[in-house]
Each structure stands twice: as C-alpha cells, then as structure tokens.
Amino acid sequence: MTRNKFFLIAVIAAAMLVLPRNARAYLDASTGSYLIQMAIALVAGGLFMFKTFWHRMWLVISRKKKGGITKFNPRADEPNQADRTDERIDTDHEHE
C-alpha cells in the first residue's frame, strides 16, 4: 500500500468517526473506545508499515555495504527509559 492510500484511509476513518452512521447495533460504553481505536490504528498501521518497509530496506543496504547483517533498531531515535535509568525488563524472556 502506498503512503497516499494510507493517508486517504486515515482521512476516511476520521470522517467516519465524526459522522457516525445510523444504527442497528447495540449501544454501550465501549462504542467510543471502539471507534477511536479504529482511527488511531489506521494511522498507526500506516506508520508501522512504513517502519517495517524501512527496516527491510536498511537490512538490504547493510548487507550490500558490509556484506553482513547489521541489526536495525527502528526506535533508535526515541528516548527510552532504559537509556535513562537502568536496564528495562526484557518482555521476551527467552534469551536469558
């Protein structure tokens, strides 16, 4: 999916959020949660696709440059608690 398509979907999602359709379904307190999740997930999904694409590109470039695999950290530029205090728990414990 191209980025233009992704932004189009994001805009449509936002429009859907603002202009709800008429209803046949149930009402509950989670309706608002359900809809905001869809809007956020559409945008976040696009970013995630871009990040995954960039990750793959990085791997290809690294292989070509160094003849080997360099581990790419997609969050390298984000501030992280682990950088500021001590090591964070590894939520995936299998590598102990």
Contacting residues toward other proteins, per CB under 8 A? 16-17, 20-25, 27, 29-38, 40-49, 51, 75, 78-82, 84-89, 91-94, 96
> How many other β-carbons are positioned within 10 Å of the β-carbon of residue 90?
10
The DSSP code for 1 is: -
CB nearer other proteins, residue 41 or residue 60: 41
**CA dist list (Å): 24 to 21, 27, 64:** 10, 9, 56
Compute the least distance from the CB of residue 66 to other proteins, in Å: 27
In the complex, least distance from residue 87 CB atom to other proteins, rounded to whole angstroms: 6
